Structure 1
Amino acid sequence: MDGVTVIDHPLVQHKLTIMRDKETSTAGFRQLLREIATLLCYEVTRDLELSLTEIETPLETMQAPMLTGKKLVFASVLRAGNGLLEGMLDLVPSARVAHVGLYRDPKTLTAVEYYFKAPDDIADRLTIVVDPMLATANSAVAAVERLKERGAKELRFVCLLAAPEGVERFRGEHPDVPIYTAAIDRQLNEKGYIVPGLGDAGDRMYGTK
């Protein structure tokens, strides 16, 4: 699909399979999500710009590459996005963090905002939006729209699982925002859940229903 990168690294796929298993514990699910987030972060930041700087090793002076250009903002779509956020911060601890609080109305499946907080300089940073599931895409579309209203100009969206319907909707609303995911599953069911999927990521991560 245009604008969509499926990260099929063997470690990602192995960990995702364990997460899909309904017998995986809450603690195990949470740990695996954090580990996969680090691997997804590795891929979504693959093209960050580098510049050379002079350093001294124990043996000699050299020109060595370091990150340059735009700094990062990780934007977590609450609450499940925090599971990906923690793993990404492990890899890039200096990144700023935005939070977009949205819940899905159980009847209409539309996204309802209840919280928003983002860095003032978000316009000058690459914003990576994180949410484990891209199902109907209602929450993802609303989150990206809110971040754009705040000034975000360069955005990427990272999820663990996506449905074809969600990908189509998101790309239709935000064709300028690339999607990075570990898998695109078969479809949505009548309740708007991804199948075969892994259930509700937030509930499985926090042990709630």
Structure 2
Amino acid sequence: MNEHVTLVDHPLVQHKLSIMRDKETSTGQFRQLLREISQFLAYEITRELPLENQAIETPMGPMDAPMLRGKKLALISILRAGNGLLDGVLELVPSARVGFVGLYRDEQTLEPVEYYFKVPDVLNERLVIAVDPMLATGNSSVAAIDRLKEAGATNIRFMCLLAAPEGIARMRQAHPDVHIVTASVDEKLNEQGYIVPGLGDAGDRMFGTK
């Protein structure tokens, strides 16, 4: 799409996303589809992980086999909805370290308020992938990336299900070094700061809350 955003337009991703958008889709199906799509997104966002050869023995003999190099990557869930993406990525990369940034959006100001922060050590030596289904205004995402950089992270990527043009622009302005991987760039934000056409509130639809 551009140097700042990768759009994962695989037909299976788009099909599953369309079912998620449907307001009749159940909470259980919504969660399952989010987990499935997260694995496609994780495949793309980890494409350039560094490798090194290690000596192993196959049933047919020795070989130098490519294995992941360096510190285990860090997955950072932006609570609460980020956990829906986190679970799927962990199935692909079970050795990853996991952290959490707890933010909620003030409904009047649309600004993020932090209530929790716990992340792995030596973030400066890890690829850090922050996950949140929705990149809407971008305020919460920017605040989370701010905190991760304060904690030492230098190599950060952002993974989301949906992005609004306004959120992409906000992230590009605040953190031009953070690449975004998403399944869709939607039309716009409405006056309440929700993505249109979007899929509603991802956290509410994941957990069955209002």
Same fold, judged at TM 0.5 (above) = yes
Secondary structure at 2:6 match in 1: strand
Take 2:151 and 2:63, find their aligned partners in 1: how far apart are those partners?
41
Structure 1 spans left out of the alignment, 5+ residues? none
Secondary structure at 2:13 match in 1: helix
Q: Return the offset for 1:10.
A: 1.2
Secondary structure at 2:176 match in 1: coil
Tell me which residue corresponds to 2:169: 168
1:123 to 2:116 alignment: no
Q: Kindly provide the amino acid, as one letter, of the partner of residue 144 in structure 1.
A: I
Secondary structure at 1:14 match in 2: helix
Tell me which residue corresponds to 1:20: 21
Take 1:56 and 1:115, find their aligned partners in 2: how far apart are those partners?
45
Q: Return the offset for 1:194.
A: 0.3
Tell me which residue corresponds to 2:68: 67
Instruction: Kindly report which structure 2 residues correspond to 1:46-65, keeping only aligned pairs within 5 A, or say none.
Output: 46-65=47-66
Take 1:152 and 1:12, find their aligned partners in 2: how far apart are those partners?
29
Tell me which residue corresponds to 1:152: 153
Q: Return the offset for 1:60.
A: 1.5
What fraction of aligned residue pairs are identical, expressed as a percent? Answer: 68
* CA-to-aligned-CA distance 1:59-86 (integer Å, 9 cap, x gap): 1211211111342000000000000000
* CA-to-aligned-CA distance 1:143-194 (integer Å, 9 cap, x gap): 0000100111110000000000110011100001011100000000011000
Take 1:53 and 1:110, find their aligned partners in 2: how far apart are those partners?
47
Take 2:59 and 2:121, find their aligned partners in 1: how far apart are those partners?
40
Matched residue count: 209
Q: Kindly provide the amino acid, as one letter, of the partner of residue 139 in structure 1.
A: S
Structure 2 spans left out of the alignment, 5+ residues? none
Q: Return the offset for 1:94.
A: 0.6
Take 2:98 and 2:124, find their aligned partners in 1: how far apart are those partners?
13
Instruction: Kindly report which structure 2 residues correspond to 1:1-209, keeping only aligned pairs within 5 A, or say none.
Output: 1-209=2-210
RMSD: 0.8
Take 2:205 and 2:169, find their aligned partners in 1: how far apart are those partners?
26
Secondary structure at 2:160 match in 1: strand
Q: Return the offset for 1:56.
A: 1.2
Of 69-78 and 182-191, deviating more is: 69-78
